[in-house]
Structure formats: structure tokens, C-alpha cells
Amino acid sequence: MEDFIGRISISIQKGKVDINSPYPPDMKGQPGAFELTGEALENGVSANDILTKAMIPAMGIVGDLFKDKKLFVPQVLMCAKAMNSAMSHLKPYFSSGEICKRGTFVIGTVSGDLHDIGKNLVSMMIEGSGWTVVDLGVDVKTEKFLEAIGDNPGCILGMSALLTTTMESMEKSVRTLREVYPSQKIIVGGAPLNNEFAHRIGADLFAPNPQIAVEFINSL
């Protein structure tokens, strides 16, 4: 079992999606996260072990390396692809209840803002740490955030803004959400934000990078 766990983990960390993927060059022709996960299940490794001992820790390592600027966006995107390819084998186990997600994370870019790359990176990393992600997309109005929280009781909410002007939309949304759901956990992120702003508008956390968001929600 250890062998499969280690190899799946390495495949995800290195962004090796499947046997046909040319990346990384030093693993060309070798099985990737997709094949190894299928093989591991066939050999009796439990889905839960694959998820909790290989996939989630691997994405944690990826997140740390990205935080430290030792990995960059293209590599992280490949790691996420590898993770998703492995995850495709686990879907039946989630459906049957044999393994469970940690919870639900709802995320969106705030009203007036169409930027999505930061939001998408956070979504990938959080999904990779074992959460169900509900992505509301970009230019999300407060009403849509409210509706999503209502539809997903107990969820954690993430909000993204790339523009200083849409930080205002974020503030309005957070304040309204707080009135309706006072104890809702809210994470905010985006290049122009900082801790002070997050605190002032009533968010629980400013995540300057995806891994900080992952660490926060896993600590709740």
C-alpha cells in the first residue's frame, strides 16, 4: 500500500496527470495519478487512504511550495489536473458515502469584478484538500452569495476581488451577509487586500495565497 500512496502523492506533486502526459519530462511514459489511483484501488488500497494519505497531503505540499514561490501557476495548475484525474476514480466512493468530503466551500468573485484566476486557484487547492467546492463564478451579487449560503448550511465562504473599486462591493456583501448569517465564516482574498481591510469589513480571514485559506478552513 505504501508504495501506491507514495507514488500517487509524487504524481500529484509533480503534476503527472496520466501516462500520456508529456509533463514532467523526467516522468514521460510513466503512469500518472490517474493510472496509479485506479491500480491502487484494484489492489485493495482503500479510497479513504488514497484521499487522506496521498492526495490531500500532496496538495498541501504543492500549496506550501506555491506560497514560498518555489512553484508557479503553470505547475500548480498541472498538479491540480493530476489531483482531479485521481479524484475521478474516487467519485463512486463519495456517492456511496464510503468516504466523505470535509465540508463545502462556496466561492465567488464579487460584484463588478470579472477576474477569476485567483479564485480558481483557491478553488483547486481547497478542493484538493478534500472539500466540495461550489463555484459561483465572477461578478457575484450579494443575493447570490446569500442564496448559496442558504443552500449549503455550514459552508465556508470565500470571496475574491482584484480591483480596489470592487473591494467596496466586497465590503457591502460581507456586511449584508453578516446581518443575515452573523456566524458565517468568510475568507477574503485578492491582490489589493490586506489583513486590516479584512478585519475592518468583518471577514474572518484575509488569505494572501491559497494555502493560507486551506490551512484556515482545515483548522475549523
Partner 1 sequence: MSYTPRERVLAAMNLQKPDRVPLMCQFSIGSMMQQLKPSPAEFWYDGDVFASGLVELCKRFKFDGILVSLHGHSPGWRDNIVSFNKLEEGKQEIVFTDRSEFHSWTDLPMVKYFNKPVHKGIDEIDVENDVPGVIDYIPVSQDLYFKIDKDHPFDIFLKLKEMVGSEYSIHGEITSPFDYLLDLLGYEQALISLILNPEKCKEILQKFTNGITVLAKEMCKYPIDAVKISSPFAGMGFISPEHYSEFVLPYESQFIKEIRNCGKHVYIHTCGHIDDRLELMQQSGASGLECLDPEPVGNVDLEDAFKRIGSKMFIKGNIDSINSLLYADDAKAERDILKIIETGKRGGGFILSTACSIAPMVSSERLDMLPELIKKAGRY
Residue 165 engages partner 1 in binding (rule: CB under 8 A): yes
Nearer to partner 1, 21 or 184 (CB): 21
- Which span (37-45, 157-165, 177-185, 211-219) binds partner 1, by CB under 8 A? 157-165
Nearer to partner 1, 1 or 114 (CB): 114
CA max distance for the chain: 55
Select the residue interacting with partner 1 from 9, 11, 21, 173 (CB under 8 A). Answer: 21
Nearer to partner 1, 78 or 86 (CB): 78
- Which span (1-9, 110-118, 151-159, 210-218) binds partner 1, by CB under 8 A? 110-118
- Considering only residues 36 to 75 of the shown chain, the ones binding partner 1 according to CB under 8 A are 69, 72-75
Residue 20 engages partner 1 in binding (rule: CB under 8 A): no
Question: In angstroms, what is the minimal distance from the CB of 140 to partner 1?
Answer: 13
Nearer to partner 1, 29 or 154 (CB): 29
Annotate the chain with DSSP letters as a single string.
-HHHHHHHHHHHHHT--STT---SGGGTTS--HHHHHHHHHHTT--HHHIIIIIIHHHHHHHHHHHHTTSS-HHHHHHHHHHHHHHHHHHHHHHHHTSS--S-EEEEEEBTT----HHHHHHHHHHHHTT-EEEE--SSB-HHHHHHHHHHSTT-EEEEE--STTHHHHHHHHHHHHHHH-TT--EEEE-TT--HHHHHHHT-SEE-SSHHHHHHHHHH-
Closest-CA residue to 212 (of 67, 74, 98, 82): 67
Nearer to partner 1, 9 or 75 (CB): 75
Residue 197 engages partner 1 in binding (rule: CB under 8 A): yes
Interface residues toward partner 1, by CB under 8 A: 15, 21-23, 69, 72-75, 77-78, 81, 112, 114-117, 120, 139, 163-166, 168, 191-192, 194, 196-197, 208
